[in-house]
A and B are shown apart, each in its own frame.
Chain A
Amino acid sequence: MKVLVCISHVPDTTSKINFTADNSAFDKNGVQFVINPYDEFGLTRAIWLKEKKGASVTVLNVGGNETEPTLRKALAIGADNAIRVDAEPSDAFFVAKQIAAVAQEGGYDLIIAGRESIDYNGGQVPGMVAALLNWPFVNACVGMDGEGPEFNFTREIDGGKEKLSASLPLVIGGQKGLVEESDLRIPNMRGIMQARTKPLEVKAAVDAETKTSVGSFSKPAPKSAVKMIDAENVSELVQLLHDEAKVI
């Protein structure tokens, strides 16, 4: 089994989010980047497939060379090799086209991506990849078992869970549940040293349209202070809700 794990290079969850002066882009200055947490669940699941079923695991990122430390971390955790498509990930369609091209060329039969990336939260890429390849797609996947080529999956749906099965080749949009947080691996020191010698191939992007363009970014308005009103004083509450909050 050849597994392709898509790795987004995203700001650490504790980062302070700022935009460039004209609000047209995210300001990367001073921000620490990590493996997209949704992808990390997928990566760990892929490594289980490697350890239990002898799968090979390739990690893939579409981005500039600043994303290589993130790929090398995935190698240190246990992936066999890495591919970076050297291009600015301009929108979901562009990225999906790149992933589909790599998947086809490399003969992969399982693609695991996070259900979304925590930077722009588009949540579109894995679905688009499945559509481009005409493969089955299991989104919001929280469980996977079976020996392959057919697998049983559990996915999260509104108000409950859905069980389904599908055969390789297929695409998974993964999240917590695919493995648990306690299963996530900290790379060991030897793994980090070995990552140096594992192959990291840089590929040129295939032609693909960018179908969306960004207008501008803005931050949510800061929360205003909470006003406490005495429980006895209902009339003041009503008046404030009417005049200030304008909700009644």
Chain B
Amino acid sequence: MAEVEAKEYLKGGEFLIRTVESDEIFIPEDFSEEQKMMAQATTDFIEKEVVPQRDRFEKKDYAFTEEIMKKAGELGLLGITVPEEFGGLGMDFNTSMLVCDRISGVSGSLSTAYGAHTGIGTLPVQLYGTDAQREKYLPGLASGEIMGAYCLTEPGAGSDANSGKTKAELTEDGKHYKINGQKIWISNAGFANLFTVFARIEDDKYLTAFLVERGTEGMSFGEEEHKLGIHASSTRQVFFNDCIVPVENMLGERNGGFKIAMNALNYGRIKLAVACLDAARRVISYGVSYANERKQFGVSISSFGAIQQKLAEMTTKTWVAESAVYRAGQDIENHIIRLQEGGMSSAEAKLKGVEEYAIECAILKVLGSEVGSYVADEGIQIYGGMGYSADAPMEQAYRDVRIARIYEGTNEINRLHSVAMLLKKALKGEMDLMSPAMKVAGELMEIPSFDTPDYSVLFAEEKEIIEKLKKSILMVAGKAVETFGMDLEAEQEIIMNAAEMLIEVYAAESGILRAEKLAKQKGEEAVAHEINMAKLYLHGAMEQVAKHGREAIYSFAEGDEQRMMLMGLKRFTKAANPYNLKTLRRSIAAKVISDNKYPF
């Protein structure tokens, strides 16, 4: 009897050290009819209620943002993952990703309001609240009757969130906390009714979270901030002057606030990544329709290779980011289910499920926001002078997406974080990074294998390349750890290099696996464009890994060791059969041009 070995699920960060097969990953095409209907309903809502009036966002019409949020609540869009007993839909994590995707593309103002409310505004109550707190607030948060906000950042405490100076002091009767301090950049502050406020009790090591209702005495607000983009996202300072909050409004445990903040951020990061997708799709659709319409030298500018190249890259990056985001989204959902089946409470499982994939969340936050920025930038370029005008849609998209690289942890913090978490997992013995890194180091000394895969099999070479790219990371990161030990933390430039490599590999692998899975389902011919996009992205990833690998190696290895590593890197980042990139891009662009919109 053949031995059947159930494959272990892919743990967070483990993609780096193990081969992932296409049947292990979720692809957006796997969404059920019901999930697709929810996505379509969300898009219909945006098209009907928001698009005709989108100018109102640019005029800083905060009331419009609030009005759309309330309508979203009526449709059920604010309570996707809130349990049914609290008035939500009790749907899975990836459905909440899908809805967040579709609601977020039209305007960064709405995207921010939605993200702040459903993410950091609702989740802490849902996941850490007592029964009484959840009964009191969750149904309203799910329906939109209560709007949520989250007060963590302070003038002196941004990325270093735990250094906040806001104090919470127990009153003499022991029944209240008195909160004093100043919070800044608080999204939804203008219309939120419920604020999750982080403050320190006495000289505690960590912050503690409190639920503070609007109108509580001692709470006041600054003026609306005027910002580069997301003009109708209400952003104000919130001041606490002897603000008295009942003790039962403490959320979670004393000293537990920082953990809440960090876990909420894990959620926020992957949600932010997905929130960048539909904006990118919309920019591509505007871009291609403009390029088809705009005539210069007697022809549509979409007939020029220089424009086609842009359309192909914009579309490819968006499609790949989408592949990576939903892949991780389902990994998280599957883990939540596993943990619940193992007896964990739903709230706990939701926390641990996301925490397991915190590395992926950080990677995706960077990927999603940078793809969004790239696409918006090229979108303006396609429009030329018109793109710079506030009368064309690109200008708003460009300004709105800029914040995505800053909030939910800056992209720098997330890059550092992704690598740091990986190393921490290795240090704690949760993941064996050392043996594969040693194996790669050993391989450098050996004569390279001359075995070649069967190139006639779809993606045979690409999958080999993915493995080699992973080896590049292991080689560079392994050597860096060996060289600097615990002092690596101070070598942020090298960590940034490693993070870049990690992001590119996760993205490229997600694209290849999605195209492969699709080819298995529909045949290679039917998904030729997807195959081309996966290849095009992989090429770019290979170049990036080579570049960042070299930079890292130059910055800490010397002499023979440097030469050996550079040779290894060269071997790992070289394709046996290079693509004709021009042909790939033209074929992808042809599809976008003929559909006259983002076609996937």
Contact = CB atoms under 8 A, between A and B. Distances in A.
Interface of A: 16, 69, 72-73, 76, 186-190, 192-193, 195-196
B37 A69 contact: yes
A188 B88 CA distance: 12
B34 A196 contact: yes
Interface string B45-89: 100100000000000000000000000001111011000000001
A240 B72 CA distance: 58
A193 B34 contact: yes
Contact of B89 (A186, A189, A195): A189
A104 B358 CA distance: 60
A195 B37 CA distance: 11
B262 interface: no
8 contacts: A73-B37, A187-B37, A188-B74, A189-B79, A189-B89, A192-B41, A195-B34, A196-B34
B595 interface: yes
Q: 4 tightest A-B contacts by CB?
A: A189-B76, A188-B75, A186-B44, A188-B76
Given A16-B595, A187-B37, A189-B80, 17 more contacts: A16-B594, A69-B33, A69-B37, A72-B33, A72-B37, A76-B37, A186-B44, A186-B48, A188-B76, A189-B41, A189-B75, A189-B89, A192-B34, A192-B38, A192-B41, A193-B89, A193-B91
Contacts of B34: 192-193, 195-196
A2 B74 CA distance: 28
Q: Choose among B33, B37, B44, B80 the residue with the greatest number of A CB atoms under 10 Å from its CB.
A: B37
Contacts of B41: 76, 186-189, 192
A21 to B, nearest CB: 15
Contacts of A189: 38, 41, 75-77, 79-80, 89, 91, 99
Contacts of A69: 33, 37
Given A16-B595, A193-B89, A186 B75 contact: yes
Contacts of B45: 186
Contacts of B99: 189
A192 to B, nearest CB: 5
B50 to A, nearest CB: 12
A72 B33 CA distance: 9
Contacts of B44: 186
A18 B594 CA distance: 13
Contacts of A73: 37
Q: Choose among B41, B76, B595 the residue with the greatest number of A CB atoms under 10 Å from its CB.
A: B41
Nearest to A77: B41
A181 B81 CA distance: 31
A73 B44 CA distance: 13
Contacts of A186: 41, 44-45, 48, 75
Nearest to B48: A186
A222 to B, nearest CB: 14
Interface in B6-48: 33-34, 37-38, 41, 44-45, 48
Given A186-B45, A186-B48, A186-B75, A192 B37 contact: yes
Contacts of B77: 189
Given A72-B33, A76-B37, A190 B76 contact: yes
Contacts of B38: 189, 192
A56 B48 CA distance: 28
Contacts of A187: 37, 41
Q: Choose among A76, A187, A189, A193 the residue with the greatest number of B CB atoms under 10 Å from its CB.
A: A189
A132 B37 CA distance: 36
Contacts of B37: 69, 72-73, 76, 187, 192, 195
Nearest to B595: A16
B36 to A, nearest CB: 8
Nearest to B87: A190
Contacts of A72: 33, 37
B83 to A, nearest CB: 13
A188 B71 CA distance: 11
A48 to B, nearest CB: 18
A157 to B, nearest CB: 30
B323 to A, nearest CB: 19
Contacts of B594: 16
Interface in B510-538: none
A192 B91 CA distance: 12
Nearest to B45: A186
Contacts of B74: 188
Interface in B134-171: none
Nearest to B594: A16
Nearest to B599: A30
A193 B32 CA distance: 12
A37 to B, nearest CB: 13
Contacts of A16: 594-595
Contacts of A188: 41, 74-76
A115 B226 CA distance: 52
A188 B74 CA distance: 8
A189 to B, nearest CB: 3
A227 B332 CA distance: 60
Nearest to B49: A186
Nearest to A196: B34
Nearest to B35: A192
A16 B45 CA distance: 24
A25 to B, nearest CB: 19
A146 B80 CA distance: 40
A66 to B, nearest CB: 11
A59 to B, nearest CB: 15
Nearest to B44: A186
A158 to B, nearest CB: 32
A187 B77 CA distance: 11
A187 B43 CA distance: 11
A224 B89 CA distance: 53
Q: Choose among B48, B76, B99, B594 the residue with the greatest number of A CB atoms under 10 Å from its CB.
A: B76
A216 B105 CA distance: 42
A72 B32 CA distance: 13
Contacts of A193: 34, 89, 91
A76 B39 CA distance: 13
B242 to A, nearest CB: 42
B597 to A, nearest CB: 8
Nearest to B43: A186
A236 to B, nearest CB: 21
A185 to B, nearest CB: 10
Nearest to A32: B40
Contacts of A76: 37, 41
B316 to A, nearest CB: 19
A186 B74 CA distance: 11
A208 to B, nearest CB: 30
Interface in B466-501: none
B570 to A, nearest CB: 42
Interface string B399-422: 000000000000000000000000
Interface in B423-472: none
